[in-house]
Chains A and B, each alone.
Chain A
Amino acid sequence: MYFDFEKPIQELDEQLEKAKETHDKGKIDMMDMINSLVKKIDETKKEIYGNLSGWQRVQISRHQDRPYALDYINAMAPDFIEIHGDRNVKDDKAMIGGFGSIDGQAFMFIGQQKGRNTKERQYRNFGMPNPEGYRKALRLMKLAEKFNRPIVTLIDTPGASPGLEAEERGQGEAIAKNLMEMAVLKVPIICIVIGEGASGGALGIGVGDKVLMMENTWYSVISPESCSSILWRTWDYKEKAADALKLTANDMLKNGLIDGIISEPLGGAHTDIEKAVSSVKKEIKKQYKLLKDKTVDDLINERIEKFSNMGVVNEDVAEH
C-alpha cells in the first residue's frame, strides 16, 4: 500500500521491478539500470520522508501494517504475561497490559491495542478504550507500584470510546482518576506514543516521567479531521488543521510537551518492524537507567513539576 505522497516511490519501484524481470530473463544486462534505480529510490525516499507534513505523518501513524502495542511488547519481552480485567465490569480488549522483562528487568507494560483486520478491529474497538480499560490500566499500575516495578505505557488510540455505555460507566471519571493517580505513582513511568495520541483517551495512560513520541506519530487534543469539522465546518481542511495543531513529534518536542523522539526506519515503523522494535527497546532501557536511582520523592516532584510548567500565559505584573 502506497500513500498519495509516496507516488514517486511507487513509480520507481515499478520500474525497478520491470528492470529486474527483464534482467532475469537473461536477454539484456540491466545491472546498470537496476543500480541507478536503487540509488534513485533511496534518494527519493530520503527526500520524501525527510519533509513529511503533519497530515502525512498522521497517515503513517495509522498505517495498517504499523506495529501495535502487543507487537512491540511480545518482541521486546518474549516472557510477557498478559493479565486481564478491571476487577469490576469486564476485560477491555482495547487496553492490554501485563508484566514482562527486558534483559532481566521486569516492567509493567500497558497499552492501547488496535486490530489489523475488520474482525480484529471490532474486537479491539478500534483501539478506543472504555472506562473499564482505564480502570484496568490503573489497577495494573497500582500492581506495579506495589511490587516496585517500573511502568511502560504504549499510546495508540484515536480517542477514548464515545458511547452510551462509556458515559454510563463514567468515561470522564475513569480518565480523570488516572491523571491524578499517575501524577503521584511511586515507580518510574515511561510513556511512548507509538501511533495515534488522541486527546484525553491518550493522556489517560500518558502522565509519565518521560514521555516520548515515535517519529511518525501524532499527539494532540483532537484529530485533524474533527478539528477541521468543528473550526471550518467541513472535513476538507484536515491538512491545514494538522499543521495548525502542531501535532508532530518535532513540534511537540519544540514546545516542551514531550521529552524525546524515537526515530523510525526510513518510510515508517511498518517498513522494518524489527528495527522499530529495537529502537523502542533501546530507548526504554536508556530512559529507565536515568530514572531508576531517583528517590520516590524526587521522581514524583520532578514529574509534577514538568507538567506544571506546561502552558503559555501572559502575566502583566504592572497591571494592578
Chain B
Amino acid sequence: MSWFKRVSEGITTKTKEKKATPDGLWDKCPRCKTITPHKELIESKFVCPTCDYHYKIGSKEYFEVLFDDNKFKELDANLTSGDPLGFVDTKSYKSRIDESIKKSGLKDACRTAVGKSNGRKIVIACMDFGFIGGSMGSVVGEKISRAIDYARENRHPMIIISKSGGARMMEAAFSLMQMAKTSAKLALLDKEKIPYISVLTDPTTGGITASFAMLGDFNIAEPEALIGFAGPRVIKETIGKDLPKGFQSSEFLLEHGFVDLIVHRINLKEKISKLLSMVWDD
C-alpha cells in the first residue's frame, strides 16, 4: 500500500508542478522536466510531448479524454464517505476525509458518468488518485456498483479506469467487501453480455487488482503503469532481494498474459471505440 506516502505529495501535475505565467498555466513533466503549456497538454491528452510520460490525471481529465466534447451526465455525484468504524489513527478518518475534500475538490476517490464517446453511449467509472490515494472505501465500491447497474439496465458498455493504491484501511472490512460487491455486479453485467473494458493506469494495486481491474472482457493498460496485487515494497521485504527491472509494469503484465493490450493515451478513445465496434451493436 504505497499510496500513503504518495498522497501527501498530492498529484504532481496539480500542485507542485503547475505554474501560472503571463501566458497562462504551464505544466512541468515530472520525468524529463520539460515545460508544456497547459492548453497544449490537454491536446496531447496529458502526455508529455517530449518523453511520452503519462501525467497522473484524474476523472476530470479522463472524462475530457473520452467523452465527446467533454459532455456527460455524472451519476451519484452526491455520495460521500461515512465513518462506519469511527476510525482514528494518528488522525481521525473524518478529518482525513474533510481535508481531502477541501484539497482535491472531489467528494471521494471515484466519479461515474454516462455520455457519448465517438457517438456511442458508454458508462465510465474513473478513480481519482488525488483523494486518499484513490483508495476504495464504501463510496468507491457503491458508485462503481451503481454505475455497473446503470450500464446493465440501460445496456451501455462499461469502462472502469483504475488508479488506486488499493483498499481504504480506515474502512477495514467494509472496504474489503467492496471487492466482492463490485465483482458480483460485474458477474451480472457479464451474464447480459454487455462489454466491460478495464483501463489500468499508474498505479493499480491491491484490492483493485484483485477485483474489477482484472475482470475486463478487455484489460487495457497505459504504458509503464505499476500494476500488481502486492505492493513492490512488501514483495521486496518478503523475498529479501531487489525486484527485477520492469517488474509489475504494464509491459510485464502484457508479457505474462494479464493485460490484452497497452494503449498510449493519445489513442485510448479510438482504441476503446474500435474494440466496442467489434463486439457491440448499439
Report 8 cross-chain contacts, Cβ distance below 8 Å, ordered by A residue: A166-B229, A166-B230, A176-B211, A179-B210, A200-B207, A307-B184, A311-B174, A320-B78
Closest chain-A Cβ to B185's Cβ sits at a distance in Å of: 7
Chain B's closest residue to A173 (CB) is B214
Residues A308 and B181 in contact in the complex (CB < 8 Å), given A199-B167, A220-B176: yes
When distances are taken between beta carbons in the complex, the residues of chain B under 8 Å from A311 are: 137-139, 141-142, 174, 177-178, 181
B85 at the interface (CB under 8 A from A): yes
Residues A308 and B184 in contact in the complex (CB < 8 Å), given A164-B247, A167-B235, A203-B176: yes
Q: Is the CB of A312 within 8 A of B84?
A: yes
Chain B's closest residue to A202 (CB) is B176
Q: Is the CB of A167 within 8 A of B229?
A: yes
Q: Is the CB of A315 within 8 A of B176?
A: no
Q: Is the CB of B180 within 8 A of A207?
A: yes
A314 to B107, CA, bound (A): 11
Q: Is the CB of A317 within 8 A of B89?
A: no
Residues A257 and B229 in contact in the complex (CB < 8 Å), given A176-B212, A232-B89, A308-B181: no
Of residues 142 to 195 in B, which have CB atoms within 8 Å of A's CB atoms? 142, 145, 167, 169, 171-181, 183-188, 190-191
A55 at the interface (CB under 8 A from B): no
Q: Is the CB of A183 within 8 A of B187?
A: yes
Closest chain-B Cβ to A268's Cβ sits at a distance in Å of: 22
Contact among A168, A177, A183, A199 for B176, CB-based, below 8 A: A199
Chain A's closest residue to B219 (CB) is A173
Q: Is the CB of A255 within 8 A of B167?
A: no
B280 at the interface (CB under 8 A from A): no
Of residues 232 to 249 in A, which have CB atoms within 8 Å of B's CB atoms? 232, 237, 240-241, 244-247
A316 to B169, CA, bound (A): 24
Interface centre among A163, A164, A173, A319 (most CB of B within 10 A): A173
B interface: dominant SS: helix
Q: Is the CB of A247 within 8 A of B173?
A: yes
B15 at the interface (CB under 8 A from A): no
Interface range on chain A (Cβ under 8 Å from partner): 35 or more
Of residues 206 to 229 in A, which have CB atoms within 8 Å of B's CB atoms? 206-207, 219-222, 227
When distances are taken between beta carbons in the complex, the residues of chain A under 8 Å from B145 are: 308
Contact among A173, A179, A307, A312 for B138, CB-based, below 8 A: A312
Residues A313 and B183 in contact in the complex (CB < 8 Å), given A163-B238, A232-B90: no
Q: Is the CB of B235 within 8 A of A164?
A: yes
Q: Write the residues of chain A forming the contact surface with B, with a CB cutoff of 8 angstroms.
A: 160, 162-164, 166-173, 175-177, 179-181, 183-184, 199-200, 203-204, 206-207, 219-222, 227, 230-232, 237, 240-241, 244-247, 252, 255, 257, 303-304, 307-308, 310-317, 319-320
Q: Is the CB of B238 within 8 A of A180?
A: no
When distances are taken between beta carbons in the complex, the residues of chain A under 8 Å from B180 are: 179, 183, 203, 206-207, 307, 310
Q: Is the CB of B89 within 8 A of A231?
A: yes
B215 at the interface (CB under 8 A from A): yes
Q: Is the CB of A176 within 8 A of B210?
A: yes
When distances are taken between beta carbons in the complex, the residues of chain A under 8 Å from B235 are: 162-164, 167
When distances are taken between beta carbons in the complex, the residues of chain A under 8 Å from B207 are: 199-200, 221
B1 at the interface (CB under 8 A from A): yes
When distances are taken between beta carbons in the complex, the residues of chain B under 8 Å from A241 are: 89
Contact among A162, A171, A231, A312 for B90, CB-based, below 8 A: A231
When distances are taken between beta carbons in the complex, the residues of chain A under 8 Å from B234 are: 162
Q: Is the CB of B78 within 8 A of A315?
A: yes
When distances are taken between beta carbons in the complex, the residues of chain A under 8 Å from B273 are: none
Q: Is the CB of A162 within 8 A of B230?
A: yes
When distances are taken between beta carbons in the complex, the residues of chain A under 8 Å from B214 are: 170, 172-173, 176-177
A316 to B190, CA, bound (A): 31
A317 to B79, CA, bound (A): 9
Q: Is the CB of B184 within 8 A of A172?
A: no
B77 at the interface (CB under 8 A from A): yes
A164 to B252, CA, bound (A): 12
Contact among B1, B188, B229, B247 for A171, CB-based, below 8 A: B229
Residues A221 and B176 in contact in the complex (CB < 8 Å), given A167-B229, A176-B213: yes
Q: Is the CB of B229 within 8 A of A200?
A: yes
Contact among B1, B80, B82, B183 for A180, CB-based, below 8 A: B183
A136 to B7, CA, bound (A): 37
Interface centre among A164, A200, A230 (most CB of B within 10 A): A200
- CB 8 Å contact bits of B70-111 with A (1 = contact, 0 = none): 000000111111111101111000000000000000000000
A219 to B138, CA, bound (A): 17
Chain B's closest residue to A128 (CB) is B238
A170 to B145, CA, bound (A): 24
When distances are taken between beta carbons in the complex, the residues of chain A under 8 Å from B139 are: 311, 313
When distances are taken between beta carbons in the complex, the residues of chain B under 8 Å from A252 are: 173
B258 at the interface (CB under 8 A from A): yes
Of residues 214 to 269 in B, which have CB atoms within 8 Å of A's CB atoms? 214-215, 228-230, 234-235, 238-239, 243-244, 247-248, 256-258
